[in-house]
Structure 1
Amino acid sequence: MEHGITPLWVTKDRTASLIDRAPWARVDDMPWKDIADGKEMAIRGGYRHLEVWKCVASSERHCLVSEGAGHCGAIHADWFVPALCLPEKKPVFIEDLVLRSATGENVPVYVPGRIGGRAGRHMWVSAADRALWEEIGDEKTPLPAAPVEEGDDVITFDEQEIDRTCRAGEDGRFAGADRPLRDLDQPTGGLTFPRLPVRRSGDPARVTPVERAAASAALGCPPWELGSCADCGRLMRRYGWDAAMYCNVCRSVLNGR
């Protein structure tokens, strides 16, 4: 990491201690013959997609503020594993992640814990998702220089002699003491904001596909009706039937004058 190289730890165990302490990925426990034959290894944990939605009654996702008890009308953003995305996304293969991490298409993100419990989450995401996350959250959280110690880890001791026998190549499953699951599939890092943030650049040509899709979902209009507010540059419903040149905030200010 001192030389600008990002590590990628791969595990097959959902209780591995390296999970969320460094950029990681979990794959299935495949027989070595399948790996030697070139079978692709799908990532089951450690890779997520950012989804943004408007919290209304018609939304397929529940409210992050009321925990599903109602709808706040705000805009939510959260990270989901591919299987829990709407619509469901295809899994990413470990070979593709290695290649895309070298080309910069996939990047690591560290999301600090906001509500007690875990200290934070490491995850691999697309570069476009990270750019959108940093813009809507107005934050850039670098990877921690050292693993963050967590208070919820428990050291166990079963009062048995250490088994020093190498079992590589043997059939069967061999496990030590029980450890808590660290690879959890729940959404993580949720943010809630009252409206879409002001873009740092008012140039419509620099709107990424991810930003356009997020704004389309939040505003409830087709992507081709999106445009920039004539005053502040915020993405809004600029074209189509009954559209406007100014967003609601700017229009209120102008009307007040």
Structure 2
Amino acid sequence: MANQVLVTQLGIKLDLARDDLDHPGMTGLWDRLYERDRQLGAMRVPVSERGLQCAGVCLDAGVVAWMYLRERGGQRQAVHERAEDEARHAAPISDEHKAYQERIIATAEAEGYPAGSEVRTPIGSGRWIQTDTLVQGEDGLRIGWEVQLSTAARKGPRSVRNRASKARTHGITPAWHTDREDYSRRSDTQWTFSNRLPARVIAKSGGLRVVSGYRVLDFWRCDITADLPCPDGPGRCWKPHATPKPRDVLFDDLVRKTAAGLIVPLEYWSGSRMQRFWLPADERARYYDAFGVPAPQDADEEQRSERGSKAGPTCRPRVVLTSTGRVLDWRDPSHWSISAGACRYCRQPTNLVDDFGVHMHKVCHEAALNADAA
């Protein structure tokens, strides 16, 4: 879209940012032009024959770009007929952005992986996905690099979340890189972050370091020997956990190994909060073996319903203690066995054991003791 429109029949330019279109003496000018354009559209007159041209960036570039008029949400808009003409109005790609694109391509191609910039991937019905830099990796793997050094939308069809989700849906693994530290804390995709550097440094073949977005997992059991606190609450749960730990990685290695499938993305839940990051493929496989493969998530904590309550559920049942029977204290670690066995009473598997090491559920044993007492 554009704010400057040339009406070729009248030889005047319109400024859509002004209420009077910059023609105060021509009352009702917009209404007349808009109604005429709608009528021509209804008669299937091509946009190129309606006499409206972009008088902004396109005209300055010596390009004839035809437009049509519309109203959206009470706003007057002039829309380019062709998407490439509208794209001409976008902010020019910075030297730093170009340097990153060139470095990704050079690194990938040096490893034998084809790569290209501003690649359009057809997705049917005349639509496509345009990727900053697309790397064709091992076994059909496609890594879609998006270098985001300017403001990135959080909501809407052009938001990072939507664009990353769209890429994943059509077989492209999104890889977003930035030099803005605040983006590295977002969870709408797997962000990687490097310090802000000039284009000449980014273009060098030296060690460009990624300082955020790549991690390894520390696998541990939550018992009395653990150094880390239990992530699920106070005390010890005696369950396995995996804690992500930040690691630096060279940008070139990240490009190579994501294409080779040796570094992969992970969606990691910590309580109710999701984290998205990259990690070695063997560690993701171990994580999935231990905790299962999570269901795909397109929404994170920041994108959940704005009307949803952050408080706990109000339907939580109230527990009323009416029994005065015997209650056992099995909080000591000696009542937990690493290997499971059949409960003495119900024969269902359990890791709990009594004072003599016999497998049984605490509630089953309490019920038996209280039944004997009765």
Larger radius of gyration: 2
Name the TM-score, length of structure 2 as normaliser. 0.34
Structure that is richer in helix per residue: 2
Structure that is richer in strand per residue: 2
Between the two structures, name the one with larger relative contact order (CA 8 Å, sep ≥ 6): 1
